[in-house]
Structure formats: C-alpha cells, structure tokens
Chain A
C-alpha cells in the first residue's frame, strides 16, 4: 500500500482536496472519499464499464485510472451532468424505453452514450452497438438501451436543427 498524499482534483466543476494513497484509483476516490457513487465497481478490471466517468471529456474506466494522474484534468461523473441537456435526453429515453433494469450498468452506459452523441450526432444502430460494447449489461439484452440512445440522439439532433433554424 502506498503512503497517503494530498492532491487536488477538479471534479464536476469543483476543486476537491483529496487525501488518499498514491495507488488509489479514481473510482476509489470518487466512491469512498467524495461519496460520488453513481460510478459502480463491477469488475475492478476495466472490463464491465460500470465505473465509466469522463476525464477531460473522454470516457475512461474509473477503476483503471489512478486518481493522482487526474490532477489538472477535468473529471466529470454522472452526477456532474445534472444540468446537461443531452444527458437529460438520454436519461429520459432510458426511463421510457425499458433500457433500465437492475440499473447497475446504467451510469456507465449513460456516460458512454453521452460521449457517442457528442461525437456522432445521429449514430446508426451499428455505431451505437459498437460504442456501447464496452459497457456490459446482463439484464436487458441491450435492445431497449440501443433504442433509448437512438431516440435521444434523434431528439437532440432535431432540437439542434430547430435552434439553428431559429438563429438563421
């Protein structure tokens, strides 16, 4: 076990002082020290994706990322997307579609989906399936999750069009 050290992280827009072992993962710090528990520990090996969070706008595995390596970078967890319109659209679509069952994979799934709709405004089904393939779900068979992301992406694209038209 590494000795504890003090460092600062920028989490969900707020600077947080951390006192944690040098080998603490970002997931450890988020869950145990900061009580940000949307990210889940499913395998602690980087496979299941339940711990997915954003670092500098890129989805990463919280369980494979050292907390100390995130100093000077912007960490965003699902809790940090509370006012994000795209995330809200994804969340509403998940509620309605049936893509939420036990919910343990849901947070990580939403972070990955949020990244996808930012990169690819109207992703087709293969693109969605490929993007989400690093987030394991054992309940749904993925059908309704894919449907939710499809619906949310379409809705977001339409909103964007409407806004653009309004500006023009």
Chain B
C-alpha cells in the first residue's frame, strides 16, 4: 500500500542504500529462535520478584524480612537498606535503585526477593513486612503547586541537575521560550482562537515486558543483559544508583521486544544487579504485564492552553502556549519532554511572535517519561486544531492554510535552529493528491454514519548527543560494523549495515553487525529521539571513510600509483582510474594484517553540536536540550466515519507522507509510518491509563486496549525525500514523525463530521456523541474557542 515517490530501485546506483533489504535478523525471528531477555538462562540462575508499595506517599519506618528469608527457596531479600544512596536520572538525579526512606507512588518497588524458582520468589514477597507512616498524597500537578502541598522530594535542591531546571517545592522544572512580542501581536490579528486541551497517559505496551538478568563474576564485575534502548544508559543508571564505577559493569542486550521510550532509561536493571551482588548468583527479573504498566513509565498527560492569531489573509501572526505536565514521582525524561513540547508548540510554521511556557510538577504517581513523539503529539493536538479553526473562520482550505504558513528551507525554527532540508510542501502535495482531498465533500456516508476528512502536519527532530562507530576490515576483506546502537526491532542494524555497505561499495551481506556491548562498542546515547539513522549513520559513514582512506593508502603502495589516481569500485575493490587494474579488499586487508601497517580499523564519533537556541532571536529559560537536531516533516490525512447513534468513531482510511531526507530502506520507513499511525490512532481514540485516586485501575491488556488488526484501516505510506545536507546519504529520522500528527488529524476530521474542536483525548464515543448532540462541556472559566 505504499506509494513510491522515492528513487526507483532500478535507478539506484551502488550496492545498498535505497533498497528494501529485509531485516538482517528476520529469519531467526520467524523461526522463533530470536532470544529476548526472558529467553536467557544462566547456570544457577535465581528468579526475582518485587514487592510494590501499597501507598502513594509514605515514610518507610521499618522492614521485617525474616519470614520471607525463611521461606522455601529464598536466597536473598533486598530492601532500601541494602542499596547505596546513589541517585540516577537523565536530567535530575532523583531516583534510587529501590525506594529508600519514602515511597512516592503506589506500586513503587520497596523490596525484592531472589529465589530458586519464580513461584518461590513471588510467594516470599508476600511475607515481607514493611511498616509505613502514610503521608498525604499529591495526585495532580495543580495539587502539587498548592502552597501547602505535601512535598515529595524534600532534598530536591541538593539533587544533581544537568540544566537550569528552576526546581522548587514540587516543581520539578520549568521552561520558557519567547520570540517576537506576543502580547502586542494580538492587535495585528484579524482572527484569534483560543482553547484548553487535555490528553491522558498512554501506556507503551511493547509486547515484551521489561526485564533484566545480572551476574557477578569472581572479581566482582557485573554482567547485565536487559531489554533496553541503550546499553550505555543502562550502564549509567545502574552505576549511578548503586555507586559503581562504570568500568565494573558490562551492559549487553539480547533481542528487544520493542521499545517506544519505555526501555530507554532504567526499569528493573538496578534492583536486579543489587540482587545479583547480594547473592553472588545470576538473577533474572522479568516484569509481569501488570507490573510493566504500574512501575515502568508512560506518556505524559498534558494540559495545554493555547491561543493563535492570524491576519485576514490567514498569515499566522502569533501563538501563545502554556502547558502543565504531570511528572509523576521521578523526573526521568520529563524535563526533556516539557522542553521539547514547548519547542514544537508552534508546529512547522512561520509565526513571528511566539511564546511557550510550561511547568512540570512532581505527583505521587508512576513516573511519566519518554514515549514516541516526546510531547509533540500532545501540543500538536491543540495547535493543529487551531490552524483548522482559523482556516474555517477565514474560509481558507486547510491544506492551503498550511501551505501559506509552513516553514521553508533556510527558515529558523522557534527559538533558533535553522531548517536545512524541508520536504513538507511535497508531503502536503502527496497526501492531498493521494487522498482525493479536493473531492472530499463528494464522499457519501453509509446510512446511519457520518464521514469526513481531516489533515494535520508535524515536524520532528533527529539528532541529540553522542554516538560512535567502528568499522573493521577483516582478513578476507569482509566488514565488521560495531556501533553500540540497540536495534529495538525497527531495523537499525540493517539500515546501518546498508550505510556501511554503500560507503564501501560492498554487498550488505558482507557486513556483520555487532550486538551492543559496553565493553566493546563505541558510545551510543540510545535508540531514541529518531536519531540512530541520522546520527549513528553519520558515524558509520565516517568510520567507513576512515577505512577507505587506509585501504587507499595500501593500494597506492601496492599498485605504485598516487592515491588521487585511485577509485573505489563496486564489490569492494580499489582500482586505478580509467584502467583495468584493481585490488580486492581481501588483498589489501591481507597485507595490512600480515605485512604492513596493521589491521584496518576505522572509527568516527560525533556529538550533535548545532545550538538549539539563537540568543539574538529568542529568549530561553530552562532549556534542557542545548543542541537538538535536524528536522523531519510529515503530513497525514484521515478519512473518519462516525456512527450517528453511538458516536463511535472509526478511521476508514489514512494517507501519511513523511520527509525522511533519504530512505535508506524504504520498506522499513513504510513500517515506521504505519506503526506510528496505529499507535497514534490508539492514543487518539481509546487508550488511556486511568487512576482512581492513587491506584492505577487498568494495568492489564483486558482493561487497557491497544489497536488490533481488526481496528486498523488501510494506511497509505508515502515517502518523500528531501536530502539533509549532512545526513548519511541525505537521511534523517523516521521513528516518531508518523505518530505526531495523528490525534490532531483525527480531531480535525471529527470536527468536520460532528463539529469541534475536540478538547480532550481520547476521543471516545461518549465525547464524540456529546459533541454531535451539542452537549460537550463548556470551556472552563469562559475560555471560549474563538475569541
């Protein structure tokens, strides 16, 4: 169902890039032989179970583990008294390996048992007695900011923070960005729209629950396998929380049963290592599905207040955005999500006057954190509806409205970074044509149904932080690639092998890809932020160039011609230009190994270093990402049908175009578009984690529904290529952009059908029906939508 606007494969030169090579590990997966964390066993291995806190906020007064220790099969019990006082956290170091002194959310791990069997460990957990002094709980950001609120982190001031967070009381962080003069700009506007929007927590629901397996050798060195998105973040989190030097811990990864942000920072790795250190035996800890819901992390609920104004021609003049985020009990990636959401709050538009402010507040709930989109879908839900509202008021077609205002190549993004490549216009063209947008009013609905189309656009970065690659030429001239990037199933091993193969003009089958290993792989911050193809791809291309330079030097000596007379030819051969004389890599590598120069090892590393903030253009306070990345773009059109009696909305068909710079592997990009669409559709229409007071009431797949094959529409994926100047072969990220605009596009379609705007996610049948029958809740405090 993909529509190819990429370069046709037959027109591609080279060996690998642009070809839909099946993923390298597909065969082991279809044979059921891929090994995930729960498939790993070690001799003498113990099984772990976790005791969760029954309270949302309480002081731990004492533990009695004697009965648990005496239970059959139990080898060790650990509590907060058994773990050091180290604290971990990506932005603010506020979290121990296990609760120490206090518990901050219901379900928080308080103790853990290692036993000979899983059943014995689970039975023993119930024998642990913990005495608590219950404290009043903070269950919403508003409660957390109240002057007399109970304080979660009494020592917040003393915590290490990687940026100017402005933390105080329960305020975890605040960020403010401003460009132009928003307050005076409203006077220039012919139309101003304003509204409040709320979104609910979404669970990641990777089908593989989180887990870890740790063992300690006779020298006291730890080896740790875990389901993760970064072996290096695992290493950092475990070592920070357990006060271990990083050189004492080796972090590895088996195959990962998907990660959508949930496996980026720590889950059970620290407590699993603590158990392995206490017992001296290998310990495996795999979360149940319920625990995976209750104690890992989830997408932030947002409260967004937004106001947008345009002149009579529909040119956007100003946008003001204020957000309030529930952080949950620990900072985790939340400060990043807040900062990123604010940076993205203007959308991919030229808006001369913009302001975005937000607060992130600790509450006694599960930590909220990274989830595909990273705050972008939530602000987009508000912003893209307001673009449609303005267009409607001015009688402008929604696509035309976006064309008039979209960012162009060379424009600055809100706060400062420059947009280099920009295929947004072509994304819009593509979805407009493919969806039959011009004829959208002509489609008739089935009896008892109403039907309509909606559009939304988005941008997303790919970049951020450090990455490296090592490319080695083996004795026989084949290639070994090692990057430290965890493939979470999306296919980065394959894509990086394709980049390496293309750079060296060898078939992709000649490139092996090493599994990430903190002992042997170069640093990779992680498989997150849509970054691996772009940043790690750049490192791979650089390392391959390093290999090639060394091989050329050998060839020049071997052929006795200057390097500038040599060229690389397909098949991994270095040839004399214009002559039928060449050397295969095998001959060159043999010389390097046995005669001269030493084995060929190429390496390259980089950190994304272009500043996010241009102080000449914008004011920024508390920006967690000083250097952010390059921009991918996307546009999506959905055809939505609503049942007139029940209000049940259904996406009937979808068209999603994304500009990925260059599709290294078009099929894998298609699947990012399709998978992102469906995850966004679940978020838009029915997914929500529900708390009753402090208790999560739907931590199971019975009560928390994700889209099935029967719920998903035909999705037409469209790849647009506008090469990024410094991307590997022009590529930029594809991982998140396909999800971002989906809730907004569905909301805009529903507005066509039942009237809008839609102020709250998920857009359940009840909410849609209320909208259709004119019974939707009035906006609070007179915040009308259209001022």
Contacts and interface: CB of A to CB of B under 8 A. Distances in A.
Interface in B17-43: 20, 22-23, 25-27, 29-36, 38-39
Interface of B: 1, 20, 22-23, 25-27, 29-36, 38-39, 119, 123, 204-209, 255-258, 260, 286, 288-289, 488-491, 667-668, 670-671, 673-679, 700-702, 706, 708-712, 714-715, 717
B687 to A, nearest CB: 11
A106 interface: yes
A100 to B, nearest CB: 5
Contact of B289 (A1, A44, A143): A44
Contacts of A138: 204-207, 258, 260, 675, 679, 706
B257 A103 contact: yes
Interface stretch (A33-41, A54-62, A68-76): A33-41
Given A96-B22, A129-B709, A134-B708, A102 B715 contact: no
B29 A103 contact: yes
B671 A146 contact: no
A104 B706 CA distance: 16
Contacts of B677: 141
B675 A106 contact: no
Contact of A141 (B31, B258, B715): B715
A104 B36 contact: yes
Interface in A94-127: 94-96, 98, 100-107, 110
B639 to A, nearest CB: 16
A95 B667 CA distance: 12
B667 A101 contact: no
Interface in A128-142: 128-130, 132-142
A106 B38 contact: no
Contacts of B488: 102
Contacts of B25: 103
A53 B553 CA distance: 57
A103 B34 contact: yes
A96 B668 CA distance: 11
A145 interface: yes
Interface of A: 1, 21, 31, 37-45, 47-48, 50, 77-79, 82, 91, 94-96, 98, 100-107, 110, 128-130, 132-147
Contact of A102 (B256, B670, B708): B256
Prevailing SS type, chain B contact patch: loop
B258 A101 contact: yes
A101 to B, nearest CB: 4
Contacts of B260: 138
Contact of A130 (B256, B675, B710): B710
Nearest to A1: B119
* Residue from the set A50, A79, A107 with the largest chain B CB neighbour count within 10 Å: A107
Contact of B678 (A91, A106, A128, A141): A141
A31 B278 CA distance: 27
A84 B27 CA distance: 16
Nearest to A134: B708
A83 to B, nearest CB: 12
B709 A37 contact: no
A79 B257 contact: no
A138 B488 CA distance: 12
A103 B204 CA distance: 16
A79 B353 CA distance: 61
B29 A106 contact: yes
Given A95-B30, A104-B207, 8 more contacts: A1-B123, A40-B207, A45-B702, A48-B289, A94-B26, A98-B668, A136-B207, A141-B679
